Structure formats: C-alpha cells, structure tokens
Amino acid sequence: DQQVKQNSPSLSVQEGRISILNCDYTNSMFDYFLWYKKYPAEGPTFLISISSIKDKNEDGRFTVFLNKSAKHLSLHIVPSQPGDSAVYFCAATIIQGAQKLVFGQGTRLTINP
C-alpha cells in the first residue's frame, strides 16, 4: 500500500525555467509534509516542509503547495539551476505519534543548460 506516490519517475527542465514536482498521498491523517533532495550515495537533504494548516510555504527558490482536499502537494523550483539536478522525495508524517516518515518513490530532476 503506497501511501505516498510520486507518479513521475523523472523530469527534465531547462535552466532558468520552473520545475514542478508532484506528490499524492492517500492517508488523510498525514498532517506534515516534507521535500528532500538526494544525490547518489548520499543521504537525503531536507529542503522544505509544510504543515496541513497551511496551503503554501516559500523558502527562496522553493515553494511547496498543499491541496488537502485533493491530497496533493507540489514543489516548485524557480528559477531552476543545474545544481538542482537530483532525486527529489516527498514525505509525509503524522505529528502526534511516532512521526515516522513515509516516502514517495522519488522523481529524478534533470536541469538542462
């Protein structure tokens, strides 16, 4: 049972344009969502998060949008830079409780010069 899904295994975007990565979840109990960036043979690096009481959170070039009714979140990166090329994982958790993260399958983002 895949509770967090990233349906696009890969995405290619031109440098300077906007990258939009999508994530869907099925468990309505999730109330905290995170995006991580991962390079090969390294651990994930935290990028940005959003609580279910918000629908948008922005940090520099990164913005996360949450649509609770659709159980959907997205990460926008603008402008995209070559250094953004990596695998991006969305994750979800329930704050009250063990706070275990459930990860999506990841989307490999490639930024083309």
Q: Which is nearer to another protein, 60 or 113 (CB)?
A: 60
- The verdict on 75 binding another protein (CB under 8 A) reads no
What type of residue is 42?
A: E
Burial letters for 17-51: b for 16+ Cβ neighbours within 10 Å, e otherwise?
eebbbbbbbeeeebbbbbbbbeeeeeebeebbbbe
Of the residues 49, 57, 74, 81, which one makes contact with another protein according to CB under 8 A? 49
Interaction residues for another protein, span 5-24 (CB under 8 A) = 9
Distance CA 87, CA 66 (A): 20
- Residue 48 CB, nearest distance to another protein (Å)? 9
| DSSP H or E run through 23 | strand 19-25
- The verdict on 43 binding another protein (CB under 8 A) reads yes
Q: Which residues bind another protein (CB under 8 A)?
A: 9, 32, 34, 36, 41-46, 49, 89, 95, 98-106
